Chain A
C-alpha cells in the first residue's frame, strides 16, 4: 500500500500528484513562483492537503519539469518528456502520439504501449508555440485562458497573426484591437497561429494511433479544434484526470514502478 508522488515544476504552473494503488488521491495545480523549490513545496502541500496526508507518508517521489533539480523533497529527478509519455499512457491507454504544450516549450512524442518514448521533437525557437504565448496574448486581449479558447468557435474572419515572434504578435494584436477588429477574430487568429506551429511538430513525428494532448493548452478548445483540422485527426480527450497534470502523474507512476519493481500502477 505504498503511497508515491510526482511533482512537475513548470515555468507557468507547478503540479503535484499523489498516487495510492494506482489511483490519484490528491493533486494540486498552482501558479509557479520565482523559485522552483518554493513552487514545488506549495504544490506538494496542496496535494497533501487534498489527500489528507503528511509528507512523511510519501514513500517515493520523483520530480520533473524545468525546475526538477531544485526540488527539495524528491528522491529522483526525471526528464519531463519521459514523465509526459507515462502520464499520457495512463490517462489514455491507447495513446501512441502525445502532444505536450508547456509554458515554455512544446513537444510531440511517439510512445510505445507502455508509455516509453520512441521518438520526440520539440519547438525550436521563440515562445510562439508555447503556453506562454497564449498567456501573453490572453492578457493583451483582456480575457481569461479559458475564454480565449472559446473565441475560435465564434469567429467569422480569423486574422493571420505573426507567429514566429511573441513580441511582434503582441504588437499585431494591439494594432488589430485599436483598429476595431472583433475580439473573436483576433482570438481565433491567436489559437490558429498556435495550432499551426504545433501541427508542424506533430506531423514531423508522423503521428500514429490515438493522439493525446497533455499540458494546460489541452484545455484550450480553440487550439485543439484548429489543430485537429490541420492534422486531419481527432485529438482524444482525457477523462481520468486533468491533462495539465500529466507530467506529475507520469512522475508519480515512475515512482510507483521504482517502489514496486516496475510493476505497473494500472
Chain B
C-alpha cells in the first residue's frame, strides 16, 4: 500500500467525499463547478448519482451519513460489527450495532475511488490473503486490516458452502485482527421443518454470541420495530420492481445498485425507507410524464444480470447502459423473495413472510429472510433445489422481459465460476443469449473496462441485440 494512503482514515475519506457530493446540487453553478474541480476523479461518479435526481442524491447523503456514523460510533456508545451480504443487518440494527458490510463498501469504494480499491485489495495480499480470493471482501477489508477504518468489535459471516471465499476472508480477518467471529451454518436444504428448526437454533446461538460480545440484550420490541420497517421497505421495493417490468421501464439502471446496496447495509433503517419512498415517487413521476428511466430517452434492450453488476471504476457500467439505451432489469442481488412479490408467484415455498407476533416468530422471520439472500439461496443451490440459480434467473428474465442474460462476477467467486458455463449453456437452450464477462466486478486490473465494454458491444452486435 502506498504510504500516503496510510495517512488517511478510509471511512473519513469516503464519508467526506460522499457527503460533499450530496451537497453539490444545492450549490450555485459557480459553487458546483468549483467543487467538481476539487474532486476530479470522483466527478464522473458524483455526476451519475446526481443526474439520477433525488434518489441518487439521497443515496449519497445516506452513504455519507453512514460513514459519519461509523466515525462517531464509539463516541456515541455504539458498537461496529463486520458482516456480509450473506447476512441481513436487521438484528444488528435492533441491537444498536452498526453493520459494516464488506462487499457493499468495497463496491462503493470502487465507484468512488480514483484507482478503485486496488491499494486496499493489494494490502490484503501483502498480509497473507491469496490474490485469487474474492475482491469483493478484499477492498474494504484491506482498509480494516491496515487499521485505516474504524475497528470492528466482532465479525458475523456464513460458513463455507454459501460463499466459500467470503467465509475464508472473514475467518482470515478474524484471525489477523484477533476478533471473535460467528459463522452462520446454513442448512443444506431449504423449506423443510428440520432445516428450519436448525436454522432458527443457529440464529438463536448467533444472538447469544452478539449479546455476549456487545454486552447488550436483544430487545424483541425493538426487533419488531425494525422488522416493521423492513416490511415497509419490502413493500416499496416490490412496487419499484413491478415498475421494472414495464417496457420501457421508468427505473434508471443505477436504482438497482441503490436498492441492494441499501438493503445489505440499511435493511430496517428508517432513512432507507425514506430513500425508497423518494425512489418510488421519482419512478411514478417518470411514468406520469412519459419519461423512460434511461437518459438516452429510448429503451433499446433489456438485460438481466444473473449475478452482480460491474462496479470498477467511476460508474462506467451504469453510464454505459445509459448511453447505449440498455435497461437494467435487476440482478440476483436485487430480489428479496418476499411473499406477495410477483416473481415468487411461480416459485412456491420460496418466499418468506414477516411475522412479529412473538420472539420465536421474529427469529424465524429473520432466519427465513437470511436463507433467501442471493448467495445463500440462488447461487448455493440447496440440495433439494440444485437448479435454483438457473430456475430463478429464468423466472426473473421472463418476467422482466429481458432480451439477454449477462454474467458478471469476480474470478475469486468459486461458487459462480464453478457453474457459470453450464448455466450459460442452459440459458441459451431456453432462448436467452448469454454473455459471460471475464472481468472482475471490483478490479479493473483483471480486465480493463475498455476491453469489457468492447466485448459487451461485440456480444450485443453479433447476437443482433443492438
A positions within 8 Å CB-CB of B: 124-125, 159-165, 168, 171-172, 175-176, 179, 193, 196, 199-200, 203-204, 229-232
Distance between Cα atoms of A193 and B125 in the complex (Å): 16
Contact pick for B127, options A172, A193, A204, CB 8 Å: A204
Q: Does B128 contact A (CB under 8 A)?
A: yes
Flag whether B181 is at the interface (Cβ < 8 A): no
Asked whether A232 lies within 8 Å of B131 as measured between CB atoms, the reply is no
Partner of B454, one of A175, A193, A203: A175
Report B's interface with A, CB cutoff 8 A.
1-4, 115, 118, 122-123, 125-128, 130-132, 313, 411, 444-448, 450-451, 454
Cα of A18 to Cα of B132 in the assembled complex, Å: 42
- The answer on a CB contact under 8 Å between A163 and B127 is no
Return chain B residues, CB-CB under 8 Å to A161: 445, 448
Residue in chain B with minimal CB distance to A232? B3
CA distance A23 to B2 in the complex (A): 38
- Determine whether the beta carbon of B447 is less than 8 Å from that of A162: yes
Q: Which B residues are CB-close (under 8 A) to A164?
A: 131, 411, 445-446
Q: How far is the CA of A241 from the CA of B410 in the complex (A)?
A: 44
Nearest-CB residue, chain B, relative to A199:
B122
Pairwise interchain contact B451-A171, C-beta atoms closer than 8 A: yes
In the assembled complex, the CB of A208 is this many whole angstroms from the nearest CB of chain B, namely 15
Q: Among the interface residues B118, B127, B444, B447, which one has the most CB atoms of the partner chain A within 10 A?
A: B447
Pair B446/A204 contact, Cβ less than 8 Å: no
Known interface pairs A164-B446, A196-B122, A232-B4; 5 further A-B residue pairs with C-beta atoms within 8 A, sorted by A's residue number: A160-B448, A161-B448, A175-B450, A175-B454, A203-B1
Bound-complex Cα distance A229 to B1 (A) = 10
Given A125-B132, A171-B451, A172-B448: A200 and B122 within 8 A (CB)? yes
Do the beta carbons of A230 and B2 come within 8 Å of each other?
yes
Asked if A200 and B126 sit within 8 Å, CB to CB, the answer is: yes
Q: Who on chain A is nearest to B447 by CB?
A: A162
A171 to B451, CA, bound (A): 8
Q: Contacts of A193 on B, CB cut-off 8 Å? A: 445
9 CB < 8 A contacts A-B:
A160-B313, A160-B448, A172-B451, A196-B445, A200-B131, A204-B125, A204-B128, A230-B2, A232-B4
In the complex, chain A residues whose CB is within 8 Å of the CB of B128: 204
Q: Is the CB of A162 within 8 A of B448?
A: yes
Closest to B454 in A: A175
Looking at the complex, which one of B1, B123, B313, B447 makes contact with A168 (CB distance below 8 Å)? B447
Cα A200 to Cα B128 with chains together (Å): 10
Give the docked Cα–Cα distance between A231 and B2 (Å).
Answer: 6
| Chain A residues with CB below 8 A from B444, complex form | 160, 162
Q: What is the chain B residue whose CB lies nearest that of A189?
A: B448
A6: shortest Cβ distance to chain B, in Å?
A: 32
Q: Which residue of B lies closest to A125 (CB)?
A: B131
A196 and B447 form a contact (CB under 8 A): no
CA distance A125 to B1 in the complex (A): 20
Find chain A residues with CB under 8 A from B445 CB: 160-164, 193, 196
Complex: chain A residue closest to B118, CB-CB? A196
Closest CB in chain B relative to A54 CB, distance in Å = 49
Q: In whole angstroms, what is the CA distance A203 to B2 when docked?
A: 10
Report chain B residues within 8 Å CB of A160. 115, 313, 444-445, 448
> How far in angstroms is the closest Cβ of chain A from B7?
10
Task: Specify which chain A residues have a CB less than 8 angstroms from the CB of B447 in the assembled complex.
Answer: 162, 168, 172
Residues from chain B with Cβ under 8 Å of A196 in the complex: 118, 122, 445
Q: Give the one of A193, A200, A232 with max B CB within 10 A.
A: A200
Distance of A111 Cα from B126 Cα, bound (Å)? 19
